[in-house]
Every structure is written in structure tokens, then in C-alpha cells.
Amino acid sequence: MRILLANFSKMVGDTGGAAKVNVAFANEMVRRGHTVTTVYTDDREGAFFYPPDARVTVYNLQHFRGRHYLFPIALKVKREVLRAFGQKYGRAVNDEFFAAHLQKPMREVLRESTPDVIICFQNASAKMLLCDLHVDIPVIIMSHGDPVDLFHSHPRKELAAFERCAVFQVLLPGFAARVQKYIPNVRIVSIGNVVPQYEEQADLRREKEKYKIVFIGRMVRNHKRPHLLIEAFIKIAVEFPDWTLELWGAEDNKRYQKDLQTMIDAAGLTERILFCGTTTNVPAVLVDADLYVMPSAYEGFGLSLAEGMSMGLPAVGYQNCVAVNELIRDGENGLLADDGAEALAEKMAILMRDRDLRVRMGTAARASMRVYAPEMIWAQWETLMESVVSEAVSRGGVI
């Protein structure tokens, strides 16, 4: 198959989950013998954080064959003003830019790559392809978060793409049930993210001088909420003097980062709560840990959480956090807390006090992630793509 991945977001140096999935998807499909082209949109030029296979053809639509389309300052100002009235208004400005400048390079990519199937990483790319360019090629729209949010935070013109797509993919079965009422006539398929199946496993039985809680994710106040994890650890730090907390991930906002550090310093825990930056060696971070905590308000899947569980770490997260509350089965492979630092601290303490419980839940966590093994997830994607291409051919589509 000839596969086009349309990801209308930044990729240069990006450490986020969507960028990771983009490159992993492309690399695996070329390994399986398919021809893969991926397009993205970024003001910057440069290398990806996650390196693509040399056989993947990559285009930045904003820097395309000597033509440069930078996002204008005037539109950036307009976007920020409109965001105050809702995310969908800010996203509409992005669509305005895409429509004005990127349709021509997108047409050139389509003409040269002649894809059999297109995977759109977001509504904006689907809107251009299905509603503006009217491609006669099967399009699968990916969801990287809670898909219900799309119907409240995205422009109406983007939502029209759902009615024209071949399939809408969600990450967890619970999402499929919740979103069906919004798009009752659209085929919805649940395929999770690929979770590494590590050969090694965290040794939770080992006696240590220091035990470790780990969190991996961007330091974002309203999403990942590391401040709640720090507050929770501070509440129980005296009871557990042989435990440390490591937070891995990129800084998002300097003021927020400073506030976090001030909180740590005021508690006298500068040497026990550590910001460790980004890493390209996640297994090395996880294998020496004893507990994974995910304080997010929401997740599309929670890939770093899943990776921690795959390493054999018991996990703690919030009951009201979608996706996290599907990966963590309360009392089996981890614990779910009510929202807030106090409740999080209570659940963390239960596992920190009981080594045998950590071992039992860690073993269950590792087993529960096997359904997301790479060979299973990529086979599901390959089968899905083959099916929509076959259906398009049988309908007389242009393939």
C-alpha cells in the first residue's frame, strides 16, 4: 500500500506523544513493505526528536521546495484573541492559514505520492483533504485524546470531515461508546497506542537505600498537573524518608516551572524531588523505579503511564481522568484516587507502605499491557487500512 500520514502539527524537535506515534507508524509500515509519505506543518526547519526511517518520505508543507509559508504574526495575534472566547475559534484561525497557503503543496504531495489510504492525525488535516480538496481516497481520522472534546472545541467546518471519512479511530473502547452518539453514522474503530513490551522488568522485591516514584510528561499545569504530584509527595515525605520523586519531561512554562521549584524548596525537599529533563531512554528511567504516578486531568491514552506499567510498575492515577481510568484497573494493577493532592497522597502511601502489594500489582500491570504489544497494534492498523482500501476499490473509488 501507499500510505500518506497527514499530521498538521509541529514535528521539529517535538517530544510529544503525537510526534512519537507519527514516526513509529511511518517506520513500522515501511518495515512491513509499504510506501509511506508523511506531511507536517512547522514554522521551524530541522530534525525530528524521534528519527524517521530513511525510507519514509517527509515533507514540511510550510517549507516546501523553496517556498516558505510562515504563520503570520497578524494571524497569531488574531488566534490568541479569539482563543479567549473558546479553543474552536483559535483553531479556526489555523484552518484559515492552512486553506490560504498549504493547499497547493498538499495537492503536489497527493499527485506525486498517489496514496491508497490517508491517515489524518487531526481534524484540521481531514478538513482540508475531505472538505476543501475533496479527495477520492479513503481517509481514516485518528483521535489522540478524548474524542468527545472534539465536538466542543473544534470548528464546525472541521467536524464536517467526520461524515466523509472512511473510519474514525479512537484509542480505547470506552471512547467509542461515548462518541457514537455524536456521529452515529460513522464507522468507529478502537485501536490503542503501541506499548513497548520490555524484556526486563523493574525488580520491586529488591531492598534499596532509595525507592523511587516516577512521572514522565510535559510540565503542563492544566493537563499533566505535576503540581498535584509534588503536593501529594510533600504531604507524605516525612513518613517515607527513603523515597524520592523524579519528574521527567520538558518545561512548558517558565513561571509554572519556577512555582514548582519554589514549592519544593519551601518544603525542604530539593534533594528528593528532582526535575530530570527529557530522555531518549525511557526504559532506563523506568526499570529502576518502584511506582508510577499519573496526576493528569485528562489523557488520550497515557502512553508514558502504559510504558511504566509495561515495565512492571504499579500505577496511581485519578478516577475521573479518562483513559487513565481504563488503563489502571483499581485494586488490580494500580490504584485510582479521587481528585486532589490529599487523595493522591493517600493512594500513593498505600503502595509505598506495602512491598508485596507493589509486586502483585506491578506484575498485573505488566500483563495488562500485553494487549498493546507492537505486533498486535500494527497488525490491527494494517488490517484496517487494507479493509478500507478494498472497500474503496469495490465501490469504484479512485485508488
CA nearest to 383, candidates 394, 373, 391, 372 = 391
CATH number of 211-371: 3.40.50.2000
Residue 368 makes CB contacts below 8 A (sequence gap 6+) with 309, 327, 329, 332, 333
Query: Phi and psi of 12, rounded to 5°?
Result: -70, 115
d(CA 246, CA 216): 8
Exposed (0-12), middle (13-18) or buried (19+): which is 152, by Cβ within 10 Å?
exposed
What are the sequence ranges of the domains in the chain? 2-194+374-394, 211-371
d(CA 134, CA 122): 17
d(CA 368, CA 148): 25
What is the assigned CATH class of domain 2-194+374-394? alpha beta
Q: What is the largest CA-CA distance in the chain?
A: 69
Exposed (0-12), middle (13-18) or buried (19+): which is 46, by Cβ within 10 Å?
exposed
d(CA 282, CA 44): 26
- Cα–Cα separations (whole angstroms), residue 371 to 327, 374, 380: 11, 9, 11
CA nearest to 175, candidates 158, 194, 192 = 192
Cell 507519527 locates to 22
Predicted local confidence at residue 399, as pLDDT? 38
Q: Which residues share a beta bridge with 141?
A: 120, 168
Cell 503570520 locates to 72
Residue 270 makes CB contacts below 8 A (sequence gap 6+) with 264
* pTM for the full predicted model: 0.84
Predicted local confidence at residue 148, as pLDDT? 87
Cell of 49: 526528536
d(CA 263, CA 231): 8
Predicted local confidence at residue 398, as pLDDT? 47
Cell 510504558 locates to 307
Contact 112, 57 (CB under 8 A): no
- Cα–Cα separations (whole angstroms), residue 248 to 155, 185, 215: 34, 42, 6
pLDDT, tens digit only, all 399 positions of the chain: 999 999 999 999 998 778 988 999 999 999 999 999 999 999 999 999 999 999 999 999 999 999 999 999 999 999 999 999 998 999 999 999 999 999 999 999 999 999 999 999 999 999 999 999 999 999 999 998 888 888 888 898 999 999 999 999 999 998 998 898 899 999 999 999 999 999 999 999 999 999 999 999 999 999 999 999 999 999 999 999 999 999 999 998 999 999 999 999 999 999 999 999 999 899 999 999 999 999 999 998 999 999 999 999 999 999 999 899 999 999 999 999 999 999 999 999 999 999 999 999 999 999 999 999 999 999 999 999 999 999 988 876 543
CA nearest to 353, candidates 272, 234, 235, 243 = 243
On the question of a common fold for 2-194+374-394 and 211-371, the answer reads yes
d(CA 328, CA 86): 32
Contact 26, 56 (CB under 8 A): yes
Instruction: Name the 3-class secondary structure at 289.
Output: coil
Predicted local confidence at residue 24, as pLDDT? 94
d(CA 1, CA 34): 5
The residue count of the chain comes to: 399
